[in-house]
Structure 1
Amino acid sequence: MHKTDLVAAVAEATDLPKDKADLVVSAILEQITNALARDEAVSLVGFGSFTQRARAARTGRSPKTGETIQIPASTSVGFKPGKALKDAVNG
């Protein structure tokens, strides 16, 4: 499912026009992004939680040359599914 599919599904489920549903979906995604940028966790009960995860610097190997390279530390986003989502996916 892509964002356009999600917008269409939200529009159908809520009887909103697609342009309004697109604004709603975009606003939700923007707020999740902003909260994560502020290092706040986002918990949607029953669905799951989004959190920042730190990755330490490490040594890797270039697949092209086989040369050893330094991979810098970075921050990524982690998602932990909630019980209701796990149950829905697992049948």
Structure 2
Amino acid sequence: MADKSLNKTELVAAVAAASGQTQTAVNEVLDSLFATLADSVSNGVKVTIPGWIAVERTSRAARTGRNPQTGEAIQIAAGNSVKISAGSKLKAAVK
């Protein structure tokens, strides 16, 4: 796992410095971006930023699992999950 991380406050500060915008404006844009992303994905809409990232909702079927403490078989309900895929520009940036 990475030794370094960038939290939202640090991201907002970095984007504000790079773009010349205020941290308040950048924070509002990021909040709106994440709200729109969450709303779209929850409604089954795939969100793609070509070359950078794709986010979509996936479905998992019901299945039988096992309780690790008792070894007893349990039913795991069907549910939804989120799949995030890196685009070509993001993959190239980490090489």
Instruction: Compute the TM-score of the two structures, normalised by the length of structure 2.
Output: 0.87
Match of 1:55 in 2: 60
Secondary structure, in 3 states, of the residue corresponding to 1:39?
Answer: coil
More off after superposition, 5-14 vs 47-56: 5-14
Structure 1 segments of 4+ aligned residues over 4 angstroms from their partners: none
Secondary structure, in 3 states, of the residue corresponding to 1:5?
Answer: helix
Match of 1:12 in 2: 17
Alpha-carbon distance, 1:42 to partner: 0.2
How many matched pairs? 90
Alpha-carbon distance, 1:13 to partner: 1.3
RMSD over aligned Cα, in angstroms? Answer: 1.1
Is 1:79 matched with 2:84?
yes
CA–CA separation in structure 2 for the residues paired with 1:43 and 1:73: 26
Gaps of 5+ in 1: none
CA–CA separation in structure 1 for the residues paired with 2:21 and 2:32: 15
Match of 1:32 in 2: 37
More off after superposition, 28-37 vs 14-23: 14-23
Alpha-carbon distance, 1:64 to partner: 2.1
Q: Give percent identity, aligned residues only.
A: 38
CA–CA separation in structure 1 for the residues paired with 2:28 and 2:69: 43
Counterpart residue type for residue 41 of structure 1: K
Alpha-carbon distance, 1:5 to partner: 1.7
